[in-house]
Every structure is written in C-alpha cells, then in structure tokens.
Amino acid sequence: MNKYDCIVIGGGPAGLSGALTLGRARRKIVIFDNGTNRNRVTQESHGFLTRDGIKPQEFKNFALKGLETYPSISIFNETVIEINRDDQNDLFLVHTSNNKSYITEKILLSTGIQEEFSLSQIRQYYGKSLFSCPYCDGWELRDKPLAIIAENDEHINHMTKLVFNWSKDLIVFTNGYQLSNKLRNDFENKKIKVYTAVIKNLYGNHGNLESIELETGENILRSAGFVVPNFYRPNKFAKQLKCQVDENGGIITDGAGRTTANGIYIAGETKKAGPSSLMIAAADGNKAAFSINMDITLDRF
C-alpha cells in the first residue's frame, strides 16, 4: 500500500488551500472529497477577493486546476468512512466507502459543517432566496422586503440587527418562540414587525420565496430573507481520534491547525462547527498546511 505524507479529508476551500501549500512543499498527499460542500445549493459566492460573484463549482474548478501543477497531489472523489490510528508505526489508516484503504503520516480534517433547520420547507429556498450569512448575500437582497426566521433571543437579536444594515423592510418570524420585551421594544422603535405564531408553510416559485403562512391563517408577503440554522459536523472523526474539544464544542488547536491528537490537524468550519467564509476557511487551510509541513520537516531532518 502507498504511504502518503498527508491525507486531506474534504476538498472545500480549507482542504484545497491546505493541499496547494503541501503540494508546493513537495509533500505526497491525497485529497478525498465527496461533493457535499454546504454552499453547493447557492448560485453565487461573494466576498472572496478577486472572485466576487463566482459560482461555487467554478471556484472549486479553479482551485482543482491550480493543483494540477503539482505531481505529488492526488484527488479522489470518495467518502472517507473511518480512520484508524496505528500507534506502533505512528501512522493512520484511512478507509473509504469504495472499500479502499490508504496509509498516511498526517491527517488534515477539513470536512466542513452542515445545516439543520427546524422547518423542513426552508431547504427548498435555502441558497436561492433564504440565506444564513448577510455578509455573503446581504448586498443582493438590499432594500427588499425580507423575513428573518430565528427562534431564540440570541439568534433573533443578532440576525435582525445585522440585516437591518441591508434592508429596513424587515419582519421577524419566531416560529412559536416568545421573544423578550427588551427585543420587542428595540424592534418596535425601528418599525420592525414580529410574528411569534408557528409557521405553517412557505410559498414561492423555484426557490424564490413569496410568502410565509402562519398557523393563525395569516399569509405574509416576503420576497427573501435570512434564517439561523443549527450547524453540526458531518462526522465523528475528530472525536474518535481523541481531539480535545472546548466548552463550546470547538476542536482545541494551537492556533495553527494542530489538534491535541498527535498527527491530526484541522482547518475550516469543521474546527468550530460553526459558519465562517470561503476566505477564512482558505486561510485556515493554508495555516494548517504550514504546521503539517513543518512537523514533517522536523520529524525527518
């Protein structure tokens, strides 16, 4: 079996940027990716310097094309299902859904996160007219009649006040949650209406939101909006490999991608199990790759 210097699990901006740095450092690596990047549902990505407005797949294609220069990089469209540590040899065995196994010295975990919505209907609109990141999509929705769908004080407070920067025409939907009087007053002062009734359905065409129906029978017109999903890691690799976590569930690192588990590095959104951006994820992968390369260098020198 071939032995790799590093296996990169996840080919989003974090993993691909890490791979680029490792390839340029002449490391023999494999990237595994199964195409489940969470931004695949959206039409355009914004805010990445020099690539503002690019399609997510085009962004990925550019990144993959760039890696072709480096012969020590392999890319496999496979799902990693298990990772085992071989303590005796200081190596890892990585198993994929195609029943294949690979040996490596280091692992970069960059498998991203996924969203979970309390209302399943949101999926139909997510990435087309409902979004979770105002910095990513606020500009395109500026001055539109927007819905804010959020279900606790912290989320309602944060998202509504932030989005007010892009549109003053906001209506908050709490889907059954009774928000605090403090927030009610804040919003009344800015003429932001709040509906606390449970949401019955969302209506629209081809992912373009048109209205939100409440259990009270009211149907409120809104053409787009922002939601606050719950985010989670799509796998248990970090936990199984005994990477320590902090009180918020974030993987503890040294600030440069090294986890507390020897040989395991982490980059991108999976680190905190929370959302960030393409730019931040890419920078994170770059930083983790510096650490991986330095550790290999010192191990072998």
CA distance 228 to 98: 35
Q: Is 74 in the site for ligand FAD (CB under 6 A)?
A: no
CA distance 181 to 187: 10
Q: Residues binding ligand FAD: what is the number (CB under 6 A)?
A: 39
Q: Is 45 in the site for ligand FAD (CB under 6 A)?
A: yes
Figure out which of the listed residues 136, 192, 199, 241 binds ligand FAD, where binding follows CB under 6 A: 136
* Of 41, 32, 30, the residue nearest 12 (C-alpha): 32
* Of 138, 132, 89, the residue nearest 230 (C-alpha): 132
CA distances (Å), origin 138, targets 4, 21, 46, 116: 42, 32, 10, 21
CA distance 148 to 171: 6
Q: Is 47 in the site for ligand FAD (CB under 6 A)?
A: yes
Virtual torsion, Cα 234, 236, 238, 240, nearest 10 deg: -170
Q: Is 48 in the site for ligand FAD (CB under 6 A)?
A: yes
Sole window of 18-26, 101-109, 157-165, 277-285 interacting with ligand FAD (rule: CB under 6 A): 277-285
Considering the complex, what minimum distance in angstroms separates the CB of residue 231 from ligand FAD? Answer: 10
Q: Is 118 in the site for ligand FAD (CB under 6 A)?
A: no
Residue 123 near residue 132 (C-beta atoms within 8 A): no
Figure out which of the listed residues 54, 91, 103, 133 binds ligand FAD, where binding follows CB under 6 A: 133
Sole window of 116-124, 131-139, 197-205, 219-227 interacting with ligand FAD (rule: CB under 6 A): 131-139
In the complex, the residues that contact ligand FAD under the rule CB under 6 A are: 9-15, 32-39, 41-42, 45-48, 79-80, 110-112, 127, 131, 133, 136, 234-235, 268-269, 276-279, 281
